Chains A and B, each alone.
Chain A
Amino acid sequence: MDTLLRSVVLGIGMLFGIIRPEAPAVSCRVYRDDAAVFLNAEASRAFPQEALKLLESGNELDLVFLVSVDDRGEWSLPHSLRYDPLTRIYTVGIGETEGVHRTDSREAALSIASRLTGLRLLEVAELEPAGLSVSVSCALESPGTDASVIWNYGRPEARVRFTAASGIPR
């Protein structure tokens, strides 16, 4: 009921131009080599104007990738973004690699934060004959505030399914 009401409200708000239509999207690509299966994902339009204002006022912003592979498990992979107004440096923390990137380019920082590259999902030996199903969704979070409102409470999601292990591209 609450979701329905919210959808109606957002529809009305967008119809009258009161609420900006934010439409983040996520795309993913699953591939393999001889040893393992990997995932690349990218969230587009993930940082609209309101997100940038929140970020550049000094607040931390986390783009969280939620990856699910069949019923074998779920990964929550936060890509944290931080801007230092004093140095004007963007810092991007990549959860899955625990790597940290620093740059003074907003575009570069956003691009790094928006991509999930070469996530090792499982070993080839673990592949089931029935195939593989992968889903990726994104959420925007910020400590101390409800950042999901930036995406109009939406959560983009992408799914890919292979009916046979041999169908996974290399």
Chain B
Amino acid sequence: MKGGGMRFRTVLLLAFCLTLLLSTASSMFFVFRLIDRSAVVAMDEEAPRALEDAVEARRDPSLSAGDRLDRITEDLLAVRRAYGRLGVARKRLLIGTLETFLLFLLAQGAVLFALSWAASALLTRPLAAIRAGLERVEAGEGGYRFPALPGREVGLIGARLNGMLEAIAEKERLIAEQARLLGWQETASFLAHQIKNPLAALSLAARNLELILSARPPGAAVGENLELIGRESRRMADLITRFRETVRFPQARPERADMAGLVESATALPPAAGAVFETDLERGLTLAVDRDLVRESLLNLFTNSLEAAGASGGRPVRIRVALRREGAAGCRITVDDDVTGVPEDICRRVLHEAFSTKAGGSGLGLLFVRKVAALHGGSVAVRRAGDGGLVFTLRLKEGCGVADPGGG
């Protein structure tokens, strides 16, 4: 903007100097044209000399009266001739004046034209840049952003357009994400439908066996196992139902929960899982959350760490979990592990797509965590630690029941 202003002022200064120069040149030309040498010589030299000569002749005692009269007459005739030339000189003067005036007008017009042209070029250059940028956007260059444009108003327009482009890009990203999610929803619904029916039959059969065996004790051990089968079958069916509901963005079922206890219950994995937990939990924090969804979210994060560790050698993984109060009715759960060497681009993409580094992985686990966080008015963020490990931060708030953005 400053550069444009300077250029504009330079052009103005140059135009002013040029106008001054042309005016001076025109004036000089005008003066030269005014001087009609013949008229000047006639009236300024010849006529006075002739009159003086006539006076001299009148005073000259050596001249006779006749000679004196002749000389005076000749001198008067010279004055008359000089006077006669004045008519021609007057016309020359008139034409010369008009020529100078027209020349001056033309010069002024040329300067004004040049000045207007330069000013318009300076003013429209940023607009041309905007037009070129819009054409690039129109051609499909979605990542284009307008450079800093000179001029306050035009600069603001450029900034606003950049804002609009950012918003459009964000919307496009969301639309793409929702399209992917819709695909997963359809897949999950299909799978749930296909698995739920056999599970229901299994559950029913187990229940029947339990009833039959209960009539003939002491089949306690068989009964316990059958009860277990039945319970687990129901739990699987429930989980699948919940899973289907999850991908359909269900409403959460919040209830008051001790958050430290909830986190601890999630960390109670069997030793065979290969996880060693280090917890740093703030006690006495109770929030109204959906226990099952939060627990599943944490399990997903832990599973993510365990699978990442498995991919890098299968050694036990140390998982650090911290719980902190955040705000009046919220908390922050941080999950960190000692897995290293996660590439930067994975960190960037891991939460924003149905993304997985594992062969056959759906990437739904972290997507699930994200949706649960959203349902609790919170968020999940991931950052890359100095050693290349991923640190997940799950933020939750009271007040569940976020509307289903997918409408499913």
Q: Please give the residue numbers on chain A whose beta carbons come within 8 Å of chain B beta carbons, in ascending order.
A: 5-6, 8-10, 12-13, 18-19, 50, 53-59, 85-86, 142, 144-147, 149-150, 152-153
Q: A10, A86, A146 — which one has the most chain B CB atoms within 10 A of its CB?
A: A146
Closest-by-CB residue of B relative to A8 is: B102
CA distance A58 to B86 in the complex (A): 13
The segment from B38-46, B124-132, B193-201 found at the interface with A is B38-46
By the criterion CB–CB under 8 Å, are B81 and A59 in contact?
yes
Residues of B within 8 A of A10 (CB): 95
User: Which of B36, B83, B87, B94 has the most chain A CB atoms closer than 10 A to its own CB?
Assistant: B87
B99 within 8 A of A: yes
Beyond A57-B83, A57-B85, 7 additional contacts (C-beta under 8 Å) are A10-B95, A13-B94, A13-B95, A58-B81, A144-B85, A149-B95, A153-B95
Answer yes or no: B73 CB below 8 A from chain A CBs. Answer: yes
A56 to B84, CA, bound (A): 8
Q: A57-B83, A58-B77, A86-B73 are in contact. Are A146 and B88 (CB under 8 A)?
A: yes
Residues of B at under 8 Å CB distance from A? 36, 38-39, 41-42, 73, 77-78, 80-81, 83-85, 87-89, 91-92, 94-95, 98-99, 102-103
Would you call A144 and B42 a contact (CB within 8 A)? yes
A79, chain B: closest CB distance, angstroms = 19
3 nearest A-B pairs in the assembled complex, by CB-CB distance: A57-B84, A145-B38, A58-B81
With known contacts A9-B98, A9-B99, A54-B85, A149–B91 Cβ distance under 8 A: yes
Contact residues in A for B88 (Cβ distance below 8 Å): 50, 54, 142, 145-147, 149-150
The chain B residue sitting closest to A144, CB to CB, is B38
Q: B94: which of A18, A56, A85, A146 is its contact (CB, 8 Å)?
A: A18
Cα distance A144–B44 when bound, in Å? 13
**Residues of B close to A85: CB separation below 8 A:** 77, 80
| Residues of chain A lying within 8 A (CB to CB) of residue B80 | 57-58, 85
CB neighbours of B87 from chain A (8 A): 50, 53-54
Q: Report chain B residues within 8 Å CB of A147.
A: 88
Residues in A whose Cβ lies below 8 Å from that of B36: 146
A10, B38: Cα distance in complex, Å:
22
Complex Cα spacing A55 to B81, Å: 9
* Alpha-carbon gap, A98 to B58, bound state (A): 39
Contact B84 A144 (CB under 8 A): no
Min Cβ gap A49→B in Å is 9
**Min distance, Cβ A53 to any Cβ of chain B, angstroms:** 5
Listed by A's residue number, 25 A-B pairs whose Cβ atoms lie within 8 Å are A6-B95, A9-B99, A10-B95, A19-B94, A50-B91, A53-B87, A54-B88, A57-B84, A58-B78, A58-B80, A59-B84, A59-B85, A142-B85, A142-B88, A144-B38, A144-B85, A145-B38, A145-B39, A145-B42, A145-B85, A145-B89, A149-B88, A149-B95, A152-B95, A153-B95
Among residues of B, the one whose C-beta sits closest to the C-beta of A58 is: B81
A142–B42 Cα distance when bound, in Å, is 13
How far apart sit A147 and B91, CA to CA, in the bound complex (Å)? 10
Which residue of the partner chain A has the closest CB to B82?
Answer: A57
Q: Which residues of B contact A142 (CB under 8 A)?
A: 85, 88
Cα distance A149–B88 when bound, in Å?
7
Q: Which residues of chain A come closer than 8 Å to B84, judged between CB atoms? A: 53-59
B76, closest chain A residue (CB): A85
CB of A12 within 8 A of CB of B98, answer: yes
Report Cα–Cα, A57/B98, bound state, in Å.
Answer: 27
A9–B102 contact, CB under 8 A? yes
User: In the complex the two chains form, what is the Cα distance from A85 to B80 in whole Å?
Assistant: 10
Cα A19 to Cα B361 in complex, Å, equals 99
Output the least CB separation between A6 and chain B (Å): 6
The distance from the CB of A110 to the nearest CB of chain B, in whole angstroms, is 17
A114 to B42, CA, bound (A): 28
For residue A61, give the distance in angstroms from its CB to the closest CB of chain B.
10
In the complex formed, the residue of B with least CB distance to A6 is B99
A84 to chain B, nearest CB (A): 9
Give the distance in Å from the alpha carbon of A150 to the alpha carbon of B84 in the complex. Answer: 13
Question: A18 to B38, Cβ gap below 8 A?
Answer: no
Which residues of chain B come closer than 8 Å to A86, judged between CB atoms?
Answer: 73, 77
With both beta carbons as reference points, the residue of chain A lying nearest to B95 in the complex is identified as: A9
Set of chain B residues within 8 Å of A150, measured between Cβ atoms:
88, 91
Instruction: Please give, as numbers and ranges, the residues of chain A lying within 8 Å of B89 by CB-CB distance.
Output: 145
Q: How far is the CA of A147 from the CA of B83 in the complex (A)?
A: 14
Q: Which residues of A contact B103 (CB under 8 A)?
A: 5
Contacts of A149 in B (CB 8 A): 88, 91-92, 95
A25 to B385, CA, bound (A): 103
In the bound complex, what is the Cα–Cα distance between A95 and B230 (angstroms)? 145
A115 to chain B, nearest CB (A): 24
Q: Which residues of B contact A55 (CB under 8 A)?
A: 84
B83 closest partner in A (C-beta): A57
